[in-house]
Amino acid sequence: MQPDQLAAALADLDCRAQRRRRAVLGSAQGSRVVLDGQSYLSFASNDYLGLANHPELIDAVRQAADSWGVGSGASPLVTGHSALHQEAEVALATFVSRPAALLFGSGYAANLAVIGSLTGRGDAVFADRLNHASLNDACLLSRATLQRFRHNDLNHLDDLLRQSRAKTRLIAVDAVYSMDGDEAPLAGLAALAERYDAWLYLDDAHGFGVLGDGRGSLVGLPASDRIVYMATLGKAAGVSGAFVAGSTALVDWLVNRARTYIFSTAHPPILAAALLASLRLIERESWRRDKLQAHIARLQGLGNDNGIKFIASRTPIQPLIIGSNELTLSMSNRLRQAGIWVPAIRPPTVPTGSARLRISLSAAHEAHEVTQLVEGIAAVLAQG
C-alpha cells in the first residue's frame, strides 16, 4: 500500500465499522478501571485471577529491582539469562509436570519460535480454522505446507493427516479459543498425533492458571515428548511473556534454533520474580478459580433468565454474538455510557457476520458486578 492510499483505507475501515482506536488506561487493572479519564466497571481484561495488581507480585518486583535492576541488558545466549530466569523456568516446568521450560517475551514470539524451528519446507502444519492470528502467522512463516481443518473436527483432521506425505507433521491448536471460550478436543488430538507420528502444539494462553487446578489444559493428557505446551503469562498469571514446556531435547533445540529467542533481549528479571510469586498464588489460592466459576455460572444463569444467549463456556471468556459490526459497536458504546466497558470484537478478529461482545470475567469481580453487567446488557438489548 502506498502512503497516499492510507487515508482512504482507514476511511474504508470506518465505513465497515472495523476501525480500531485505543483507549488510554489511567489506572491499574481491576474490576473497575479508568479509561480515557472515566471510571468503568470493566469486563475487558484477561486478568482472569485478579493477579495483575496483586501486592505480592508488586513486592516481588520491588525486591528484585534492588538486586537485578530493570532491564536484562542482553539476549539470553549472551548475558541476559539470569539466575531468576533459570529459577522461573524450573518452576514452570515443575508446575506443568514437564521436563523443561523456556521463557519468551510474548506468546506471539513463542508460537513463531516453536513452529518455525520444528517445521520448514517439505513439512506440513495442520491448524484449526479458528486458531489465533499468531499461530496462523507462525504456520505461514515456517514455510511448511499449511492445511487448515474445520474447527474441532477430528474426522477432518484425520483425513488430512492420512493423506499427508510430509517428512514432519505438526498439529497446532488453541487449547481454549480466545473469542468463543470453547476448548479443543485435546485427548482426541493427542491420539491422532500418536497415530500419525506428529507433533501436537498447544497454545494454552487462556487455560493456564484457570483450568486443571491452575496447571492448564495439559492436565489429564498422557506424558509425551511429541506434545509441546505453550502458555502466556500476561493473562491469568498477571505478569507478561510466555513459556514453552516439553522435553529437555526440545527446549535445548529451541535455545539453539528459535530465532525469536536467540535474537531478542531476554525477559526482564524482575518479571521472572513476579512470575514466581504468581505461581505460588495460583497454586495455593484455589478460591480464585472457585470464585471465577461462580461468576460464570451466575452470568449464564442470569442470561437465561433474561433471554440472553451467551455462548456456553466453562472459561472466563463469555461471548455474546450479535452479528452486525455496526450493532455490536453501538451496543458496546451504549454499555460504556452506562459505565460498563465491554469490547466490541469484529472481523477480522472473528469471522464475518459473527461480531460480538466479548465478556471477560475475573476473580476480581464481585457477584453484584456480574448482575450489573447482565442488567446492562438486557437494557441495551431491549432498546434494539
- State the binding site for substrate: 20, 132, 349
Angle (deg, nearest 10), helices 269-284 and 55-68 = 150
Residue 97 bears catalytic tag: no
Annotated binding site for pyridoxal 5'-phosphate: 107-108, 178, 206, 232
- What is the tally of helices (H) and strands (E) in the chain? 13, 13
Catalytic residue chosen out of the listed positions 178, 217, 360, 362: 178
Full DSSP string of 37-105? TEEEEE-----TTS-TT-HHHHHHHHHHHHHH-S---S-IIIII--HHHHHHHHHHHHHTT-SEEEEES
Residue 162: alpha-carbon gap to chain centroid? 30
Helix axes 269-284, 83-95, angle to 10 degrees: 30
Long-range contacts, 68-72 (Cβ 8 Å, 24+): 68/269, 68/270, 68/273, 69/269, 69/270, 70/268, 70/270, 71/265, 71/268, 72/265, 72/266, 72/267, 72/268, 72/269
- Amino acid, single-letter form, for residue 99: P
Cell of 178: 480466545
Question: Which one of the listed residues 235, 267, 295, 365 is annotated catalytic?
Answer: 235
Closest CA to 114 of 194, 171, 193, 195: 171
Q: Strand 38-42: give its sheet, edge to edge.
A: 32-35, 38-42, 340-341
Task: Tell me how crowded residue 304 is: count the other CB atoms within 10 A of its CB.
Answer: 11
Instruction: Please give the Cα distance from 165 to 308 (Å, whole number).
Output: 47
What are 296's three cell numbers? 460464570
Binding residues: 20, 107-108, 132, 178, 206, 232, 349
CA distance 376 to 316: 19
Spatial contact of 288 and 49, defined as CB atoms under 8 Å apart? yes
206 labelled catalytic:
yes
Rounded CA separation 259/79 (Å)? 17
Q: Which of 54, 81, 85, 206 is catalytic?
A: 206
Do 261 and 81 touch, CB atoms closer than 8 A?
no
- Residue 235 is a catalytic residue: yes
Q: Give the active site residues.
A: 178, 206, 235
